[in-house]
Structure 1
Amino acid sequence: MTNNLLKGSKITLTSFKEEYMNKFENWYNDVSFLRNYDMISAFPRAIDELKPMIDDVKKSPDKFIFAIINSDDNKFIGVTGFEDILWNNGAATIYIGIGDSSNRGNGIGTEALNLTMEFGFEELNLHRIQLTVLSYNTPAIKLYEKLGFKKEGTYREFIHRDNRRYDMYLYGILRSEWEHINKY
């Protein structure tokens, strides 16, 4: 267990604040971001459409959202959290989105997801964390496997993009597997 829950060497996870909405709106108008972040059509969204979505997460008993803040310059660079928490089963779906491409591929996603997993297992007392990822998102797949997630299934030809069908993979990690990887 870490002494600084939600704080790593490169980033800190904080509450999602109103001041982040403009940047969040920019990401929701970036098709390449949306095509990796969500399964719905990459449809641009305005702040007035995004604010109720964030408010819903904040009020929900089965969802959490964190803002990912760069420790060097204190800038908002992404979101992570949990949805579909089944408290009685100790299971949840994790997600992450790093907004600007300049913040991808440099370890920020690894650190943010690892901190989120730690929060899930240590603070929320989860037994299982799962996620879904589209088959064409190879950087995300490498990240998830590096952190110990195991491929558990395939939703064949799940999504239609650019006149092609792509599979969606289900990945999961159990608390015991995470503890084995993160021995203190």
Structure 2
Amino acid sequence: MLKLDKPNSAEAPAKSNLSYWLSLVDEQFRKKSYTLARDFILRGLVDFPNHPLLLDRLFIVDRQWNLPIAGNRIHLVIPKESDLSFFQQCYANAEFMDQFLPMGRKNQNAESILFALKNSEFSVVQFKTKHWVIKKEEREGLPQNASETNLKSIGLASLVDIQIAHRRAELLVGIPDKEDRKQAAAVIATLLIFDFAFNQISLHKLTSIVIANNLHSQRSTESIGFIQEGLRRQHLRDPKSRMWLDCYENGMIENNFRENGVIARLSQRLLGRNITVKHF
């Protein structure tokens, strides 16, 4: 729990002014001292509870972004520098990346990936993104009575283009190897992010962009609960063929999530709990 200092008489008038707290917070943001910025935000909220400007700033440095996420042998792990080789393998897989990151987004070199991994703790405030490595529990190579499990990296999951004021983000989930996609790993990872987005970090909407010629991906996106909201005509250009491609725009707002019977049944079966029910 944050320990608050008792203000002296000279500080009290200043602390009763919202601009005092915002200036302290924004100064720490400029210095990239995000932990101290979070402390000032929490102190400001004591004097100005539920103020939207303070809450917006708290949203991007919330500790919830870095809590572990796990369910039924699938873990979403905050990436570390040791995950660099796996990221490089994924980015080198052109077929996978064409599906995971719609074409038109620049490839990442080793230096840029490593920089992002080193700054993963506060990636929301710095890059408006949050990345996870999807890892699967394995017991291969361990004694039969061992209580521990190995975690094998099998895919990537991200929230990108995070919009703070609108509490919205685009969802990306991808597993390169067909063998690793068995046992509903991608579905479980998606459900875990739904749970995190709507129940932990309180997003209002998730979006998903699918290239229109990928009908399988579009059907899967709709079957998990997204609603097709539109068609972006000739929205992307294939860097190889130079052809213009249409994209489906899909969305899921919190109310749709809460009322979705498919998500309720899937999460109960695959995670052991109904994630559509909000627990206070």
Output the TM-score relative to the length of structure 2: 0.58
State the Cα distance separating 1:127 from its structure 2 match: 1.2
Distance 1:163 1:81 in 2: 27
State the Cα distance separating 1:56 from its structure 2 match: 5.5
State the Cα distance separating 1:51 from its structure 2 match: 1.6
Secondary structure of the corresponding residue to residue 76 of structure 1: strand
Match of 1:47 in 2: 110
Match of 2:226 in 1: 149
Q: Which has the higher helix share?
A: 2
The answer to whether the 8 Å contact 1:29/1:44 transfers is no
Q: Mean Cα displacement is larger for which, 39-48 or 107-116?
A: 39-48
Structure 1 residues 58 and 132: alpha-carbon distance in aligned structure 2, compared to 1, 3 A threshold: farther
Structure 1 residues 164 and 40: alpha-carbon distance in aligned structure 2, compared to 1, 3 A threshold: closer
Where in structure 2 are the equivalents of 1:88-127 lying within 5 Å?
Answer: 88-104=165-181, 106-127=183-204
The answer to whether the 8 Å contact 1:83/1:93 transfers is yes
Q: Which has the higher strand share?
A: 1
RMSD between aligned residues: 2.4
Match of 1:33 in 2: 96
State the Cα distance separating 1:50 from its structure 2 match: 2.0
Match of 1:170 in 2: 249
Distance 2:213 2:180 in 1: 20
Secondary structure of the corresponding residue to residue 28 of structure 1: helix
State the Cα distance separating 1:155 from its structure 2 match: 1.0
Q: Deviations over 1:117-147 (max 9, x none)?
A: 1100011111111121112333322321121
State the Cα distance separating 1:69 from its structure 2 match: 0.7
Structure 2 residue corresponding to 1:6, chosen from 63, 69, 82: 69
The answer to whether the 8 Å contact 1:160/1:166 transfers is yes
Secondary structure of the corresponding residue to residue 88 of structure 1: coil
Identical-pair percentage: 21
State the Cα distance separating 1:33 from its structure 2 match: 0.9
Greater relative CO (CA pairs within 8 A, separation 6+):
1
Aligned residues: 180
Distance 1:81 1:118 in 2: 14
The answer to whether the 8 Å contact 2:81/2:118 transfers is no
Structure 1 residues 58 and 140: alpha-carbon distance in aligned structure 2, compared to 1, 3 A threshold: farther
Distance 2:206 2:107 in 1: 29
